Structure 1
Amino acid sequence: MKKLIVAITVMMFGFSAFAQNTGNLLNNYISVKNALVSSDSKAANTAISALNEAVKSEDNFAQKAELQKATEKLSKAGNNIEKQRAAFNDVSTIMWKLVKPSDKVNQPVYYQYCPMKKAYWLSKEKDIKNPYYGSSMLTCGKVAETK
């Protein structure tokens, strides 16, 4: 009986830690998105590095390998805003797979879509601020789903 209680406790701790870490990954992701919206490649590069490190330091989860590969590709874009934007969709779609089923994300998350780039991103705000075009087409897009 003790072993069962210990096993359940370990599992519950693991799930709650992952839930908290999902929020941490989301916050790092949002920093990248906001830098891309502002067309600030240096801030984006810094935020990308933080996101990449956050993914690496996480315990295993279903999409870890996929997300790590996508964030590493994003990291390789360096300070080139167009390359950063080109790699951002892959990270966005994987992040949505993490966030959508999570019952521990305590705020709405909007999965938004840019029809011009045929690409997605996540946002904590319903208002469209397109990270793929920055100020040139800031409000281009729509909310595809809400969590």
Structure 2
Amino acid sequence: MNLRPFQKITFAGAMVAAFTFTACADNKQQAAGDAAQEDHASMDHAEMNHSATPGKVVVETPNYASAGDPVKQQLAQLLGSYLRLKDALVASDTEQVQVEAQAVLAAAEKVEITGLAEEQQQFATEKLDEVKQSASKMAAATDVTAQRENLDLLSEATFSLTKAFGASDQKLFYQHCPMANNDQGGYWLSSSAEIRNPYFGEQMLKCGSTEESIN
């Protein structure tokens, strides 16, 4: 194919322009990706250093700390199972989440409330039902995303029971990720002040903040 000088110049110019446009588009995409990573990094850093305001209350509960054993011991066992489940979600270990969810469900089934006052029974029944509902769904789910969708309800119910009945002798932290559940936010319960996000695992391990703590 023989090109006249003008045609050669035009063709070469078009090639240069196309290359320049592609490079700019790639640079814009790279810049956008870098900016998003910087935003996440900034959020991780800010959230990691955020601690609960002293005396702040996120979950309101009645005070049933006067209730005796065995309910306190049984709720303490429920809390232990919950914490192991939460750690499995941090590790994004779907099979271990199923195992621990079954343990949570079994612990909830063992909580004996017949010796409680009527008002205490009503409260415990409502929260235990929420625990069983969410734990059952997590045990049945074979996808970690589906398991994480049920964590918020399980966390709130477990925290409410533990707090209301004074069922733990360790300091607990009620923590929050604003980006969980499609930016609707989600809570979890931890025995450590250090943020280890169970909603995203390694993707955004330190994204979150402590919103309430109890001794």
- How is 1:16-31 mapped onto 2 (pairs within 5 angstroms)? 16-31=69-84
Q: Partner residue of 1:89?
A: 152
Letter in 1 for 2:110: S
Letter in 2 for 1:67: V
**Secondary structure in 2 matching 1:146:** strand
**Cα offset, 1:74, TM superposition:** 2.1
**Cα offset, 1:65, TM superposition:** 2.1
**Cα offset, 1:33, TM superposition:** 0.2
**Secondary structure in 2 matching 1:130:** coil
Q: TM-score, normalised by structure 1?
A: 0.85
| 1:127 counterpart = 2:210 | no
Q: 1:35 aligns with which of 83, 88, 110?
A: 88
Q: Partner residue of 1:4?
A: none
Q: Partner residue of 1:5?
A: none
Instruction: Assess if the C-alpha contact under 8 Å between 2:90 and 2:198 holds in 1.
Output: yes
- State the distance in 2 between where 1:130 and 1:43 align: 17
Measured against aligned partners, the alpha-carbon deviations of 1:19-41 in whole angstroms (never above 9, x if no partner) come to 11111000000010000001111
- State the distance in 2 between where 1:70 and 1:83 align: 11
- State the distance in 2 between where 1:135 and 1:82 align: 14
- State the distance in 1 between where 2:165 and 2:194 align: 22
**Cα offset, 1:73, TM superposition:** 2.2
- State the distance in 2 between where 1:57 and 1:18 align: 9
Q: Partner residue of 1:115?
A: 178
Report the more deviating stretch, 46-55 or 62-71.
Answer: 62-71
Identity %: 31
**Cα offset, 1:54, TM superposition:** 1.2
Q: 1:76 aligns with which of 119, 140, 146?
A: 140
Q: Partner residue of 1:3?
A: none
- State the distance in 2 between where 1:120 and 1:85 align: 11
The structure with more radius of gyration: 2
Instruction: Let me know the Cα RMSD of the aligned residues.
Output: 1.4
Q: Partner residue of 1:143?
A: 210
Q: Partner residue of 1:66?
A: 130
| 5+ long unaligned stretches in structure 1 | 1-13
Q: Partner residue of 2:31?
A: none
**Secondary structure in 2 matching 1:82:** helix
- State the distance in 2 between where 1:68 and 1:40 align: 20
Higher relative contact order (CA closer than 8 Å, sequence separation 6+): 2
Aligned residues: 133
Letter in 2 for 1:88: L
Measured against aligned partners, the alpha-carbon deviations of 1:4-54 in whole angstroms (never above 9, x if no partner) come to xxxxxxxxxx72111111110000000100000011111111111111111
**Secondary structure in 2 matching 1:144:** strand
**Structure 1 segments of 4+ aligned residues over 4 angstroms from their partners:** none
